[in-house]
Structures are given as C-alpha cells and as structure tokens.
Structure 1
C-alpha cells in the first residue's frame, strides 16, 4: 500500500473553473519543489496540455469506462510511489455522466474539493456547497473554493453558513487577465500560447494569496495493482506518429502502450516539413488539420508518402482530424476547400455546431476497443463502415469505422490500453 497526499477537484458544472484552480494548485506546489502528478478525469486532450505545463509531468487520463478500474488503480499507484501530491481534475459536474467524477472519487477514496463559480450568488453559495457534500454518502467533499468573487467582502459573504466540516479553502478574485483563449474544441493548445508560463504563474500567485492558512491535503492510500504482462507483439516494428499542432490529440498512455508492446515510436512533424520516417505502420491522431490545411497541402512529400505507404500495404490508423486530412478535400470553417491526400474517398466539411460528443465502444475485427468522439466536422464517404460504435450513455454519437486496404479510419479517438492485443494485431499488419 502506497500513501500520497491527493485531491480531486470538481464543480457543480462545466465552466466553473476546475482547470484554472487545478492548474494553480499544481503550479504553486511545483514551484515550491514538490513533485506533482496531475490526472484528468474522462477523455480530454486540451486541459492536460495546460496541466502538464503547470506540473512539469505528463498528464494521464483516469476513466473508468475507457481504461477500467484496474488500469486506473495502476496509474494512481505508480504515481503515488514518486509524487508528493496527486491532483485529479474532474469532468463536467461532480455527479454528471456515467461514470462520473464522483464514481472515481468513491472508487479510490479521493477527497473532493468543489470549485463553485460565485460571481452571481451570495449566501446561496453555501446551500449549493452543502448539497454537493450531502448528495452521496460514499464520497467526502472536504472543502470548497469560491471562484470569481467580486471583492474581499463578497468572498466572506459566500462563505457564510458553511459547516465546520466544509470549509471555504479559498476565495479567488475575478480577473479577466487570467483566462485562456478558447476555440471550437475547447482551450487553445498549450504549444500555441507563447505567454502561457506567465499566465500559469499568475494563477499560482492568486492561489497562494487566497488559500486559507493551515489548509492541508489529506493522505490517501493507493493499492498496488498487479502488473499485467504485455507480450511484445510489436517487437521490431517501427510506428510513425504525426505529432504537432495539427496532430496533437495523443494520450500518453497510448504511446506507453505501443512501447510496452515492443514497438519503436517515431514522432514526426508534418508542419515542420519533416518527412514520414521509414516505418512499418503510421498513426495519424486527431488535432486541428483544418487550421493547417494549407501548410499540410504544401508539404513537399507528406501526402505522397502516405499514398506510397498504403500502396505498400502497410497499416495506417487515422483518427478524427487525422482522417480528415486523408479525404479528397477538407472545407475549413471559412468555407475554403483544400485538396487533401485523397486516399480516403469522400469530402470533409467543418461545421459551425458540435457534430458529435460521447464515449464510444467499438468492435474491431481484432477485438473490442473503447474511446470517445468529439468533433465539429462531417465526412461524406461512399465507404460502408466495417463496424459502428455504441455509446454507453445512450447518446446519439455512434461513430463508424472505415477500412480500405491497410487504412483504418474513424472519428473515434481510441484508447489503446483498453485492448493492447487488438492494437498490436492491427499495427503488426
């Protein structure tokens, strides 16, 4: 049994400030020389990029659906062996979704810090906080943060009526300068924000000035998880992974999975003009090809290399944005049509509204995989899907899986650890 100070940061709803508070706490303690490990509940790529910069360590997903209980337990236990502090940022509201952030807190005994946007309330703040604390008896909401208070007096007011076992940990003032820009899929990527470190330091300073003296993180015991042996099914295989601002939606656990399977992972950046490495397989993850379509089209060999790779019968997995750049054309948000690689029949078009969102389970020919979908585009293709995903929350988003030769493509962002053997069977060719 390994012990480590730990906390899950949640809220009544999205937009309350979970990411900024988690980031502030991580940065504040990392600057003081502590080893901080941060996890993100549920599928997300953009928040973890910021959290990684704040903590100085890769941010992994904790998702009871995508990864499962044993996988999440192993990640936490491994982190606890080396970390001084573990922070877990929740998803949506504390009790939203199946599984929810509360389910995760209950599974691992994580105390919960509730972040409440206090900008439009006074004493009702206490009632809302108390409701979060009492709604489920199997979790412990240990304190609250009043976010975006208008003044010191407002910060005092919202804390009135809180019981002794639900203290106000901090009242953070509203500050328009300490905000991150957003676009259609969420936060702008960390690598696109040159002033990010100054912003993170500003958040940390605000936390340090606001946190109540004497606040201590609870120590949590994490059970060690017996490691499951991963056979080196990809030993000797070289897998090229596009990785830059156009192809950035990559779970660290996916790369770990490929390496544990024995593969050599070769990262390359099409946006920097780098050529496709000599490889046995390619993974084109999601990202923002629509923002970089012109640069991708002007790359002297990228599309031609992909066509040659597929002509040789080598495996290529394309997910969401990676799939869009393989279509005949991609129409961006401004209506400009960009010729793409043309190896996937069909046209991709960016939409003004959300097209799909939800967890996904899909049966590949090699076995069942889990993941999620989140996109603002559509793909019109004559290809018939070889499989259609199901949504565990009965949502409308049920994505198709397409195959043409050695190309496999889908809007699904697959979580490789959900079935390493299936991933290995595909990439092995």
Structure 2
C-alpha cells in the first residue's frame, strides 16, 4: 500500500526561541490549554530529552507527552508518534529545546526534517527594534526552514508591543504579545521548571496563560488559520518487540522524589511483557512483590530527610537485593542507593546503603548531554543531566559514551555504569525504546553483559 494514502493533515507548530528561558513552555502549554478548553483534541511533544516541561504540557492537554529527538528516539519513532497524534488530534504542538539552532540535533533540524512550522517566542522585555532583527535572523538563518511567525513575551504594554510589531520586516509574522507578570509564570529550580504536581495552583497558572494568549492574534486564529502539516504514514516496524520480560513484575518508584519517567519507557516495558506496579517511598508504601525494581531519576535531594527516615524501604530493598533480584537505578534513583547524600547546604543525610560512598549536590551542572550505553551487545540511547557527583570505591563496570565517541581517538569517557551484584546504577537516563533488548538485560537476573570501561 502506498504510504501517501495514509497521510494525515492537521494543524501543527513547533514552538521555539533564540535561547532557553524565553517562555517556550509557557506559550506551548497556553496554546494547548486554550484549544483544549474549547473542546479540541490537542497532542503535545517535547523536542529532546526532558522530564519537566512535559509535565506542564501533559497538564494542558490531558494526555501523555513524548519526546522527539532525531538521535535519541530516532527519526522513525518521531514520524510514527507524530502520525499517530495527527490521526486523533485537531492540533499538534511540539515544544523545542534550548535555542532554535542549539544542539545536534537541534529543534531546527527536527522542524526541517519533519516539516513543522516554527513559532518563535522571543523575550522582548529589554528590547525594541532588535526584536525585528532577531525574528528575521531566526527565520532566515537556515534557508527553507518552515515558519509560522513570532510572538513577543514579557512585554511592558501596548506601546511596547507596537514598537516590537513595527520592527518586523514582514507584518504578517506578528502573532502578538504576552505581558510581563507573575500570575502565569512557570517557576524554575536547578534542573529546570518546577513540576506541575509541586504547585497547588498549576492549573490556575495555565488558565491565566491561556487567557492572555486568547487576546493575541495567535490565540484568535481558528484551527484552519494555523499552519497545516501533512504527516506521512511511517513504514511498519521491522520486527515486533519480543516478550523478553514476560511473566516478570517490575516495581517502579513514582512520587515527587522519583518522577523522571518517560511514558515511552513504560510502553516499552509493557511491550516486553512485564507487569508494572508502582509505589511511593515518600508515602511509605511497602515495596510491592516483584521480580525487579526501577528507581527512576527525580529530586531525592529535595526529599533527603524523608528518604533517610524510610527505614522500611531501606530494609525491603536490601532483602530484594539479597534475594538476587535486580534493581535498575537512574540518576536520582542511584543517589538514594549510596550510603549518604550531601545537600548543597552541606547537610549529610544517610541513604539506603546499597552502594558504597556518598553523593554531593553542587550549584553547577556536573553532567549534561546525549549518551549511549552498550548492554548485552545492544546500544541503549539516552542522556545525562545532573548537579551531583558521587565519591565511591566501587569501580565502574562500564562507561557510557557520547554519540560518535567510539570513532574519536582519546574520547572522554561518559557516565559510570555501576554493577554490584544485582544492582545496576548510573547517572545515565535510558530511552528504553531505543533498544528493548538492552532494556531487558537491565531487569534480567543474568549477567549484565556490558563491555568493561
């Protein structure tokens, strides 16, 4: 069958900016919330690896938010997810990452490859005529980049908005202005935006942002007046995922301390045949009966005292490991397994004593970027992003590597991958769908099969 026969056309934009902190998430979530309130089906995505912005987009749309990344998730996965979203949605919104042309691959690469028109958000609070230069540069820096227009953020008032609009070479590019003000600002902390679940007024903030956007030309456009994108049907997958974890139950920590979970990772575990159960260490939930445990990343440092007091969980995980059952601990999940966690104010908290040593929080980034880990003869893709370091006598079983690092002489090793008994741990955040076979190895009882690093 000709794939073009299954092509779907729907309204779609990629919300981007010249840099981080310009208001991409606010605009993307406001646009999603505005149309959702009007009874439309909206599906949102996040460009690149991210756990926090998707919380807000999911709150705005009422649906899971997946990542799109030409390297980590792969172009085929991006096309499949966008096509599936277009089949059920009136509007598809993709939020960019960092600045429009930052990173490799960048948001601009995704927009160009998949035909997503760019809606540029520019923080204009300290500029006037330069707004036009920035807008022109973003639109024309890469010839042929699909373009939707430009929206000014944090604008002082009508006069300021008029100056910004007049600075544009093409008046039809003007999509309006959002005012300065805290009533719909999305607060930040050291890993990015504060998650919506940590704010009692999260939905009120989104509604206030949607109300402000409704007064702009962008907010007043009908769906038909928004850019229309044709999403071609992707080719069928080469092979189905084998049920390598059939009959196994995986217990997954999920609460404010362990919240960095890609929906696609849960989908992959289901496709591998695993039964998933969830528990909250912060709520003093008992460890469910299970064959394996996944401790995802999150904010253990913000809940260090509560985790230190979770003696029942410490004992249950110790018994789980003593029985030879595997644990996969990512970033924040790994931090909770060391003997101690030192917060940025110097306070020392005892942790769960399954890995020797301690982790220490810092005020500056200690790791950032795409990474891959070879497990069981397969490459598992993902990324790293953390503010802590670990001091341990445990020797790494392997290291992750940056994309293409194998071909670079003297390439610097990536994140340490620790394997002590059935405990597997790293700062590395894995995208399970990149290799279901490697994922199964993380949760299996056999040898982990990583090349020594």
* TM-score category (smaller protein): over 0.9
With normalisation by structure 2, the TM-score equals 0.92
SS at match of 1:143: strand
Structure 1 residue 340 corresponds to structure 2 residue 380: no
Name the CA distance, whole Å, in 2 between partners of 1:397 and 1:195. Answer: 43
Partner in structure 1 of residue 448 of structure 2: none
Q: Please give the per-residue CA displacement for 1:60-79, whole angstroms capped at 9, x wherever unaligned.
A: 10011111111111111111
Q: How does 1:203-282 map to 2 (within 5 A)?
A: 203-212=209-218, 213-214=220-221, 216-225=225-234, 226-227=236-237, 228-282=239-293
| Alignment correspondent of 1:402 | 418
Show the counterpart of 2:450: none
Q: 1:232 to 1:24 in 2, by over 3 A?
A: same
Does the aligned pair in 2 maintain the 1:359–1:393 contact within 8 Å? no
Q: Deviations over 1:86-111 (max 9, x none)?
A: 00000011111100000100111001
More displaced 10-residue stretch of structure 1: 293-302 or 235-244: 293-302
For residue 53 of structure 1, what is the aligned residue in structure 2? 59
- Displacement of 1:397 in angstroms is 7.9
Q: Name the CA distance, whole Å, in 2 between partners of 1:201 and 1:177.
A: 10
Which residue of structure 1 aligns with residue 47 of structure 2? 41
Pair 1:220–1:406, CA change in 2 (3 A): same
Q: Distance in 1 between matches of 2:189 and 2:100?
A: 24
Q: Is the 8 A contact 1:105 1:112 kept in 2?
A: yes
Verify: 1:88 aligned to 2:88, yes or no.
no
Answering whether residue 330 of structure 2 is matched by residue 314 of structure 1, we say no
**CA distance in 2 between partners of 1:313 and 1:362 (Å):** 23
Partner of 2:303 in structure 1? 292
Secondary structure, counterpart of 2:73 in structure 1: coil
Please tell me the root mean square deviation across aligned C-alpha atoms, in Å: 1.6
Aligned equivalents of 1:412, 1:338: Cα separation in 2: 23
CA distance in 2, matches of 1:245, 1:393: 35
Q: Distance in 2 between matches of 1:241 and 1:104?
A: 32
Which of 334, 357, 381 aligns to 2:392? It is: 381
Out of 13, 17, 38, the position equivalent to 1:11 is: 17
Aligned partners of 1:166, 1:101: CA distance in 2, in Å? 23
Q: Deviations over 1:113-141 (max 9, x none)?
A: 00111111111111111111111123112
1:372 equivalenced with 2:378 (yes/no): no
The structural deviation recorded for 1:165 is 7.5
| Distance change >3 Å, CA 309–CA 168, structure 1 → 2 | same
Deviation of residue 248 (structure 1)? 0.3
* CA drift at 1:166: 5.1
Q: Distance in 1 between matches of 2:173 and 2:208?
A: 24
The residue that corresponds to 2:449 in the other structure is: none
Q: Which runs of 5+ in 2 are unaligned?
A: 1-6, 406-410, 446-453
Q: Deviations over 1:348-399 (max 9, x none)?
A: 1111221111111222244211111111111011111121122238797821
CA deviation vs aligned residue, 1:189-228 (integer Å, no higher than 9, x gap): 2111001111110000000012354462112111222134
The answer to whether the aligner puts 1:116 opposite 2:122 as a matched pair is yes
Shift of 1:27: 0.6
Secondary structure of the structure 2 residue equivalent to 1:308: helix
Matched, 1:151 2:162: no
**Which secondary structure state, in structure 1, belongs to the residue aligned with residue 384 of structure 2?**
strand
State the match for 1:187 in structure 2: 193
**What is the CA deviation profile of residues 152-203 of structure 1, one whole-angstrom value per residue up to 9, with x for unaligned ones?**
1111111114244851111111113321222111111211100111111000
Flag structure 1 segments of 5+ consecutive residues without an equivalent.
none
Tell me the matched-pair count.
Answer: 429
1:202 aligned to which of 199, 205, 208: 208
Change over 3 Å in CA distance of 1:363–1:283 after alignment to 2: same
CA drift of 1:300 comes to: 4.2
Which of 416, 419, 425 is matched with 2:432 structurally? 416
Do residues 126 (structure 1) and 132 (structure 2) align?
Answer: yes
Q: Distance in 1 between matches of 2:376 and 2:267?
A: 23
The change in CA–CA distance for 1:143 and 1:396 in structure 2 (over 3 A counts) is farther
User: 3-state DSSP class of the match of 1:157?
Assistant: helix
